[in-house]
Amino acid sequence: MPGNFLNPVHDDYKYDPDKHIPDLSSKVIIVTGGNNGIGKAAVTELAKHNPKRLYMTARSKTKYDTAMEDILAAVPTAKVDFLELDLASFASIKRAADEVIADNDQLDILINNAGVMGLPPHPTTKEGYEIHIGTNHVGHALLTKLLMPLLLSTASSSSSSSSSSPNTPDVRVVTLSSGAHNMASSGVPISRIATPMEGTWSFSRYGQSKMANVLFARELARRYPQITSVSADPGRVQTPLLDEKFKTRDFTTYFQKTYDLFASVLDPRQGAFTELWCATFDKAKVKSGEHYVPFGHRVPGHKKSRDEKHARELWEWQEAEFKKHGY
């Protein structure tokens, strides 16, 4: 496999969120997909550090309530707000963004964590996009776009500074990618996003969505230098989602055994470390437009993920789609 697909762990900073996450009492934070797996682990760690406001997005209040049982067991003082969000629906994304904007005068950290993998063959989002790219990339791109005025106003305010750089604005967007982006060696099939992508293996479609995440983070950094935008690879994480996918015919026993032989297998808490590092570590160490693997180690990513023309084309395509739908 090319690049860092097998995700060796580079613990450059001996990362420990209990020690390295600073006081967050001035920060408003959103974690998408915070009700399960890596996202729930990230919310749990952030809740320990007194955030001004911490949102967990989930598709239902029931999913939020179930997650909060675990979070409160780990952090009895945790205060986490529910934000209903279905990234496969533009209307749901708009409602969520409107709620955040109406209730807050700042947004310091947006962690685009949510994702889907290995869904049944050829479903689409409500607007007709292939479900993996539509949810993992297009949905997050629209959410980020709708929240951009609040992110930018926060970046221009002194309240957004970091503890290590008190006079420097510090607003961050962290987009979760994966080593699977290396599988999309030809990039994102932009002309096919608004189709079910029939005939394409589900893991290939997932890899293309993860390539889109890296391209999006890089282009966001280029277009909005006021904001720190990075992509984060969590590593090979032992989650119920991935374990279930390894049981399907798309993920053979041979592939799993080969993968785990060379990969560093992490638990969900460790899987959250890289996005937490990107979101809260010393701003001087987090370089906008870059791609990070466990734990806070900067790597180039696949060469196609550094294709500026491809990133621009993807951005222009999504903007045209948003305009077509009235956003």
User: Which domains, from first to last, does the chain contain?
Assistant: 17-157+167-325 (3.40.50.720)
- Active-site choice (89, 160, 162, 177): 177
Q: Which residues of the chain have pLDDT under 50?
A: 1-4, 249-255, 258, 262
- Active-site choice (15, 64, 206, 292): 206
Residues 6+ apart with CB under 8 A from 183: 1, 5, 203, 204, 207
Which of 240, 221, 227, 213 lies closest to 301 in space, CA to CA? 213
- Active site annotation includes 159: no
Q: What is the pTM of this model?
A: 0.91
23 burial (CB, 10 Å; 0-12 / 13-18 / 19+) is exposed
- Active site annotation includes 206: yes
Q: What is the per-residue pLDDT for 246?
A: 52
Q: What is the per-residue pLDDT for 240?
A: 55
- Say which amino acid occupies 131: I
- Active-site choice (27, 40, 210, 245): 210
Q: What is the per-residue pLDDT for 11?
A: 76
Q: How far is CA 51 from CA 27, 55, 66, 187, 228, in A?
A: 6, 10, 21, 37, 19
Q: What is the per-residue pLDDT for 252?
A: 44
Q: What is the per-residue pLDDT for 165?
A: 62
Pairing of the two strands 291-293 and 297-299: antiparallel
